[in-house]
Amino acid sequence: MQGPFIKSPVLKIVLGILSSLLAIVFILLLLFTEETRMEAQTASWAGREIENGAALYYNNCASCHGPDGRGLPGVAPALHSHYFFTERLGDVGWAGSLSDYVELTVAAGRPSKTNTQWAQMMPTWGVTYGGPLRDDQVRAVTAYVLNWEADSLTQTAEEDPWQPFRDVRKPVEQQTIGEPGEPPAEVAAPTGEPRDPEVLFTSLACIACHNLAVDQTPTNRGPVGPNFGNLNENAQTRVAGMSAEEYIHQSIVAPNAYVVEGYPSGIMPQNFDQLMSEEEINAMVTWLIEQSQQ
């Protein structure tokens, strides 16, 4: 009896070759699927990093750079901007990548400059430089900012929310993209349901210049705009014959009508009457008074 054993040497060789080939095909298949699996993994990591970055952006950056990165006039430049992605590096003479530029600016902040066009300095964020964010958080918020590239590149000159920079070698007159000081599109038109004053206080960047929790005193003044801890009290006496409500209303719609002593005029944006409906302005006045009575 031969049993199940194969006797023919030729058949043995053929079968040997076949099984080796099968093994090779199998290994190649494994390698291939592993690669796509890893690609999918990397993509989901990148996705998650951008998501983390979005939350970090909303909590730390939106008050100055605007809720959608389109900048706020006089407060901070637009990052969700065609100019930012195409010309900014050339204008500041940065030879590295945009990613390094953003990461380093976020990590280290920008030292105060004389004659700056912005109300406040860009703060230091990276823990390496004494800021509150870990390195991976700085990278995540950088990834989120860079994620605006595709959309920014579709902006026309009129849509670009960019404001001319005073810190570049090109004189302001030769900076031709966009119009200075355009409000971010989402907050520009007060339409539909009136928005909550507390939300507007952040999205219109009042919060970047006014501190609700601290009293304004001669020895403790808000650095950019007056503190609002005791606004109700101050507002009653600023202008003879004006109630607190009337004064605060006027301060919002016509900031230059009365300029608080010790502050330059023109720092507070002049277009809030276009960014809020009358109803929203009145609700803001009431809310500010309530806040400062607590």
Which residue, 3 or 264, is less far from ligand HEC as judged by CB? 264
* Least distance in angstroms from the C-beta of 284 to ligand HEC: 5
Under the binding rule (CB under 6 A), the answer on residue 85 touching ligand HEC is no
Q: Contacts with ligand HEC in 235-264 (CB under 6 A)?
A: 238, 248, 251-252, 255, 259-260, 263
Rounded to whole angstroms, the Cα distance separating 132 from 88 reads: 27
User: x-or-dash pattern for ligand HEC, window 4-43, by CB under 6 A?
Assistant: ----------------------------------------
Phi then psi for residue 90, to 5 deg, are -65, -40
Whether residue 123 contacts residue 170, with contact meaning beta carbons closer than 8 Å, is answered with: no
Under the binding rule (CB under 6 A), the answer on residue 86 touching ligand HEC is no
Cα 175–chain centre separation:
23
Under the binding rule (CB under 6 A), the answer on residue 162 touching ligand HEC is no
Under the binding rule (CB under 6 A), the answer on residue 146 touching ligand HEC is no
Choose which of 66, 70, 119, 124 interacts with ligand HEC (CB under 6 A): 119
Size of the site for ligand HEC (CB under 6 A): 53
3-state SS assignment for residue 66: coil
* Least distance in angstroms from the C-beta of 161 to ligand HEC: 12
188 is written with which tokens? 């520009």
Based on C-alpha coordinates, what's the Rg of the chain?
29
3-state SS assignment for residue 215: coil
Phi then psi for residue 106, to 5 deg, are -65, -45
Which residue, 38 or 110, is less far from ligand HEC as judged by CB? 110
Under the binding rule (CB under 6 A), the answer on residue 194 touching ligand HEC is no
Rounded to whole angstroms, the Cα distance separating 54 from 60 reads: 10
Whether residue 86 contacts residue 153, with contact meaning beta carbons closer than 8 Å, is answered with: yes
Rounded to whole angstroms, the Cα distance separating 284 from 277 reads: 10
Phi then psi for residue 68, to 5 deg, are -115, 20
Which residue, 159 or 222, is less far from ligand HEC as judged by CB? 222
Under the binding rule (CB under 6 A), the answer on residue 79 touching ligand HEC is yes
Phi then psi for residue 133, to 5 deg, are -100, 140
The residue range among 12-20, 23-31, 41-49, 201-209 that interacts with ligand HEC, by the rule CB under 6 A, is: 201-209
Rounded to whole angstroms, the Cα distance separating 154 from 21 reads: 51
Under the binding rule (CB under 6 A), the answer on residue 140 touching ligand HEC is no
69 is written with which tokens? 């990165």
- Which chain residues interact with ligand HEC by CB under 6 A? 60-61, 63-65, 74-77, 79, 84, 88, 102, 105-106, 110, 113, 116, 118-120, 122-123, 125, 141, 145, 167, 204-206, 208-210, 216, 224-226, 231, 234, 238, 248, 251-252, 255, 259-260, 263, 265, 267-269, 272, 284
